[in-house]
């Protein structure tokens, strides 16, 4: 038995009902942090896939290995086969022909809405990065690529530092300084959780039609040179050229000024420009020789 968002586990004779989210986006805040940490350990090779699933079940069901509590019946004993239950965690993943198992990332809301360095509170970006600048996204995309290439966690901290600041005051050359400020009081689990959020955003804008003000637009055309060309396995490689492309029009000013504009306003303008180019190219091909 299950709901649209959760697997349901019932033991009628004990009066126990427990729920396991079907994917990461259905986790509550505590579950999200716990699973994010385990996902990082799995992706880093510290945990096997089967160990990840078992530990995830223990976290979600709040089980304690080797402990019994009268108020909360030892569910692990009642289930007798925790590994069988752990197979429910397979629903967190999809199978990719090129990447194997890949975590489903249908995340919309930022799982780390704010952080609290010493004597301050810093808000993170809103859902879909709607309150951020194109400059932040341009730099973050480069950092995102570097992490995928190297698996060096310094790039995760860079990504985090780029976004946890006032977007209107963003300065790329201050990123390292910001890392030093926020790192002592920031849990790495939050850093990786934000990375998953950013990756979900990347997937969203490059592989699906986006609804904006009642119309469906395919932002994927911004990341390919041709409508029929395959999208990059790691979307975002073209952000630097996108910035130059729009700055040449002068609509949003020079390159520096373009970087300070709202991300989505730039995306929508780029979409209109790119769509016009593709339409004109199509019409040119249809003209008789």
pLDDT per residue over 226-247, tens digit each? 545 444 444 443 566 676 777 7
What's the pLDDT score for residue 226?
A: 55
- Distance of alpha carbon 69 from alpha carbon 29, whole angstroms: 25
Q: What is the pLDDT of residues 95-123, one digit of tens each?
A: 887 778 999 999 999 999 999 998 899 99
pLDDT class of 151 with cuts at 50, 70, 90: very high
Length of the chain: 289
Q: What is the pLDDT of residue 76?
A: 56
- Quote the CA–CA distance of 278 and 140 in Å, as a whole number: 27
In Å, the largest CA–CA distance within the chain is 84
Q: Which residues, listed in sequence order, are joined to residue 215 by a DSSP beta bridge?
A: 212
CA 236, CA 186: separation in Å to the nearest integer? 27
- Mean pLDDT of the region 216-220: 85
Kindly tell me if the per-residue pLDDT of 44 is higher than 60. yes
For the record, the structure tokens of 113 come out as: 């809405």
């Amino acid at each position: 038995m299950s709901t649209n968002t959760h697997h349901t586990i019932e033991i009628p004779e004990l009066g126990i009902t427990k729920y396991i989210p079907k994917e990461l986006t259905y986790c509550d805040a505590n579950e999200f942090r716990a699973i994010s940490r385990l996902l990082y350990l799995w992706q880093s090779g510290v945990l096997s896939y089967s160990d990840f699933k078992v530990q995830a079940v223990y976290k979600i069901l709040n089980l304690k290995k080797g402990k019994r509590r009268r108020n909360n019946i030892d569910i692990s004993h009642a289930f007798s086969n925790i590994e069988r239950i752990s197979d429910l965690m397979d629903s967190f993943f999809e199978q990719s022909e090129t990447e194997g198992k890949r975590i489903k990332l249908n995340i919309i809301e930022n799982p780390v809405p704010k952080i609290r360095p010493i004597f301050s509170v810093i808000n993170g970006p809103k859902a879909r990065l709607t309150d951020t600048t194109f400059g932040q996204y341009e730099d973050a995309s480069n950092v995102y690529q570097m992490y995928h290439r190297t698996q060096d966690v310094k790039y995760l901290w860079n990504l985090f530092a780029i976004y946890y600041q006032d977007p209107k005051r963003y300065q790329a050359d201050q990123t390292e300084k910001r890392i030093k400020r926020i790192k002592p009081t920031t849990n790495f689990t939050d850093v990786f959780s934000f990375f998953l959020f950013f990756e979900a955003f990347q997937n969203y804008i490059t592989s699906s039609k986006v609804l904006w003000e009642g119309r469906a637009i395919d932002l994927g055309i911004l990341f390919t040179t041709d409508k029929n060309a395959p999208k990059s396995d790691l979307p975002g490689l073209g952000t630097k050229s996108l910035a130059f492309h729009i700055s040449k029009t002068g609509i949003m000013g020079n390159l520096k000024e373009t970087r300070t504009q709202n991300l989505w306003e730039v995306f929508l303008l780029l979409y209109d420009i790119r769509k016009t180019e593709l339409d004109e190219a199509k019409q040119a091909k249809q003209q008789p020789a």
